């Protein structure tokens, strides 16, 4: 199991610019503002003082098995071509995170925390706005659980699987320079994205809890965004496909069905420098097969969260966010809080 998709850094642009014994073996058969150029960015466009934001870090420290629990407001808003974003954050999660639903664990309590570094850039894709982003997460996991009535614990630190994503807005968000962006006003946006995560993180095949997954995941997604005055309504749906893990717990072969998810966001712009969002997601799927034996571990969970962001000036902004599992049928149930700082440059900023 691995950390992925961020989870939470924001492409925000004011004024529209802008005891390690947790070991299981195969013998156990598993079941802006002050610095903004007002001439270049007219006040008459202030009703679109929406910070364009792609949430990178919030899912970055979400595990691969619960990738669909990531909450990402502003994933498909427009950003100027050539604008760069560097995001650094820290996230803390606690609960049954990193526990595999195909393994009969009881009373799992695991804490995961660590820094995340991410980068993103606005692109011109056939005349439509696009974005490339990447995330490099590092984490530490510690905790305990009971397996077959015996207490087990695990403490580990290392790199998790990195994530890479390409997004493209198909309608409502043309590719614009920073100067052209001053006159842009969002109405309705339709976008798509594709994220992949190669198995490059820490992985020990004799351990149940790992920071890497020893397999790829691929996540295509489609989303819409509709601005209504100071509010923005967003809806996105995707599916996460997993390749096989051929070295799961001592050489077993693990397969996992796709996970289907839908998420929604209600975003409110308090001013051109402050915004907040209420977030929710529902996902279902992900049943596993281990060495040809199907596990009764279909996941069907619901999460809710909130995000609050403040722009400090045209170059810097900060974001706070949190989420919690509300309804958990099977799979990881955890609470997450995080803080992210963002620096932006380029495109004439």
Q: What are the pLDDT digits (tens) for 7-39?
A: 333 444 443 333 343 444 334 433 343 343 433
Tokens of 186: 């969002």
The CA distance from 284 to 174, in Å, is 34
End-to-end CA distance of the chain: 39
Q: What's the total number of domains in the chain?
A: 1
CATH number, domain containing residue 297:
2.40.128.130
Is 76 a member of any domain?
A: yes
Q: Is residue 264's pLDDT more than 50?
A: yes
Q: Which domain holds residue 91?
A: 14-20+40-345
The better pLDDT of the pair 213, 149 is held by: 213
Q: What is the mean pLDDT of residues 108-137?
A: 93
Q: List CB contacts of 6: < 8 A, sequence separation 6 or more.
A: 55, 56, 57, 58, 59, 60, 61, 62, 70, 72, 89, 116, 118, 135, 137, 163
Query: The tokens 């820290």 sit on which residue?
Result: 90
Is 150 a member of any domain?
A: yes
Question: Rounded mean pLDDT of the chain?
Answer: 80
pLDDT of the residue at 21: 39
Instruction: Give the residue among 321, 278, 344, 312 at the shortest CA–CA distance from 52.
Output: 344
The CA distance from 182 to 274, in Å, is 18
Is 1 a member of any domain?
A: no
Give the pTM. 0.82
HSE-up of residue 48 (Cα within 13 Å, Cβ side): 21
The better pLDDT of the pair 18, 139 is held by: 139
Is 2 a member of any domain?
A: no
The CA distance from 140 to 158, in Å, is 7
Is 234 a member of any domain?
A: yes
pLDDT digits (tens, 9 = 90+) for 182-198: 899 999 999 999 999 99
Is 126 a member of any domain?
A: yes
Tokens of 256: 């996992």
Is 4 a member of any domain?
A: no
Is 63 a member of any domain?
A: yes
């Amino acid at each position: 199991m691995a950390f992925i998709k961020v989870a939470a850094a924001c492409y925000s642009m004011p004024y529209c610019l802008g005891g390690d014994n947790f070991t299981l073996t195969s013998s156990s058969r598993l079941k802006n503002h002050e610095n903004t150029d007002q001439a270049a960015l007219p006040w008459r466009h202030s009703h679109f003082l929406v910070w364009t934001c792609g949430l990178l870090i919030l899912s970055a420290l979400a595990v691969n098995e619960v990738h669909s629990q990531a909450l990402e407001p502003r994933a498909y808003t427009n950003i100027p071509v050539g604008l760069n974003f560097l995001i650094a954050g820290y996230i803390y999660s606690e609960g049954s995170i990193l526990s595999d639903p195909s393994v009969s664990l009881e009373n799992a309590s695991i804490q995961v925390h660590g820094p995340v570094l991410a980068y993103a850039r606005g692109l011109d894709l056939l005349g439509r706005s696009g974005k490339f982003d990447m995330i490099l997460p590092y984490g530490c996991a510690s905790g305990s659980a009971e397996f077959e009535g015996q207490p087990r614990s695990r403490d580990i630190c290392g790199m998790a699987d990195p994530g890479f994503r390409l997004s493209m807005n198909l309608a409502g968000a043309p590719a614009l320079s920073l100067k052209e962006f001053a006159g842009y006003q969002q109405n309705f946006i339709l976008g798509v994205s594709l994220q992949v995560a190669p198995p490059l993180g820490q992985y020990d095949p004799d351990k149940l809890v790992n920071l890497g997954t020893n397999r790829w995941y691929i996540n295509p997604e489609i989303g819409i965004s509709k601005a209504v005055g100071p509010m923005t309504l967003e809806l996105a749906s995707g599916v996460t496909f997993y390749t096989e893990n051929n070295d799961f717990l001592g050489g077993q072969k693990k397969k996992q069905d796709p996970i289907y998810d839908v998420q929604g966001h209600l975003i409110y712009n308090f001013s051109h420098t402050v915004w907040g969002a209420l977030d929710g997601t529902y996902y279902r799927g992900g049943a596993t097969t281990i060495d040809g034996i199907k596990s009764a571990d279909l996941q069907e969970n619901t999460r809710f969260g909130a995000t609050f962001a403040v722009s400090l000036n045209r170059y810097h902004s900060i974001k706070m966010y949190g989420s919690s599992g509300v309804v958990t049928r099977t799979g990881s149930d955890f609470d997450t809080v995080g803080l992210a700082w963002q620096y932006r440059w380029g495109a004439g900023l």
